[in-house]
């Protein structure tokens, strides 16, 4: 798929038994991971990485001391993009608070989230503020439903911050404080940016 976006030729698409691919977008598959399990890794990890680096402007070099003990919110932590975002945040040294359904709490914690909260809780914004001490500056919205960005905005630091959202059509007005930037992006933007990052 990334090859198609780069070359825009049907011969480079994914609807065939074999395809040509740029070496920069390939890696050796560990023996512990099946092809079926690995199928979602490139798109979900790439979605999280582009959100982090191209839109939120977080550093590309992963150093656990970069954001040591600073909180990072992943809304939708049990989603495939959410799991990837948790792992990237941990690599940058963040402490992660995530949202999920209660039945997914342990699953989300297994990927590194310190705290997992129920996204259906009517007090979710206040609970995130309590956990983060009102100092939350970064959030990744891995699922896009109406009203989520506003809830995240209420949880952000009064000093401001950034919310990266996979909701490319985000157009809600005045739902977050002026000091908070909402950074929506689409899959097409994701692939275009990722091609630039590896060239």
* CATH class of the domain comprising 42-198: alpha beta
| Residue 138 pLDDT class (50, 70, 90 cuts) | very high
Residues 176-190: tens digit of each pLDDT: 888 888 888 765 555
Contact 152, 171 (CB under 8 A): no
- CA distance to 87, 91, 142, 164, per residue, from 107 (Å): 13, 18, 16, 23
Q: What's the chain look like in SS3?
A: CHHHHHHCCHHHCCCCCCCCCCHHHCCCCCCCCCHHHHCCHHHHHHHHHHHHHHHCCCCCCCCCCCCCCCEEEEECCCCHHHHHHHHHHHHCCCEEEEEECHHHHHHHHHCCCCEEEECCCCCHHHHHHHHHCCCCCEEEECCCCCCHHHHHHHHCCCCCEEEEECCCCCCCCCCCCCCEEEEECCHHHHHHHHHHHHC
d(CA 148, CA 155): 11
d(CA 98, CA 76): 7
Contact 187, 47 (CB under 8 A): yes
Residue with the bigger pLDDT between 107 and 195: it is 107
Within a 13 Å sphere around the CA of 124, how many CA atoms are in the beta-carbon half? 23
Contacts of 192 (CB under 8 A, 6+ apart): 5
Tell me the pTM.
0.79
Residues 33-61: tens digit of each pLDDT: 888 877 777 777 777 877 777 666 666 66
| Residue 32 pLDDT class (50, 70, 90 cuts) | confident
């Amino acid at each position: 798929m990334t090859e198609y976006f780069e070359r825009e030729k049907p011969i480079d698409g994914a609807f065939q038994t074999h395809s040509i691919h740029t070496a920069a977008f390939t890696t050796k598959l560990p023996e512990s991971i099946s092809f079926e399990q690995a199928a979602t890794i490139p798109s979900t990890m790439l979605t999280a990485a582009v959100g982090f680096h191209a839109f939120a402007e977080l550093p590309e070099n992963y150093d656990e001391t970069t954001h040591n003990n600073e909180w990072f919110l992943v809304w939708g932590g049990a989603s495939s993009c959410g799991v990837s975002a948790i792992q990237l945040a941990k690599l940058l040294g963040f402490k992660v608070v995530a949202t999920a359904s209660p039945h997914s709490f342990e699953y989300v914690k297994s990927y590194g989230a310190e705290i997992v909260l129920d996204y259906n809780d009517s007090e979710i914004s206040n609970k995130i503020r309590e956990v983060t001490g009102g100092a939350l500056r970064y959030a990744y919205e891995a699922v896009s439903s109406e009203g989520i960005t506003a809830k995240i905005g209420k949880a952000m630091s009064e000093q401001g911050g950034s919310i990266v959202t996979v909701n490319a059509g985000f157009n809600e007005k005045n739902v977050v404080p002026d000091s908070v930037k909402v950074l929506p992006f689409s899959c097409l933007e994701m692939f275009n940016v990722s091609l630039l990052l590896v060239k």
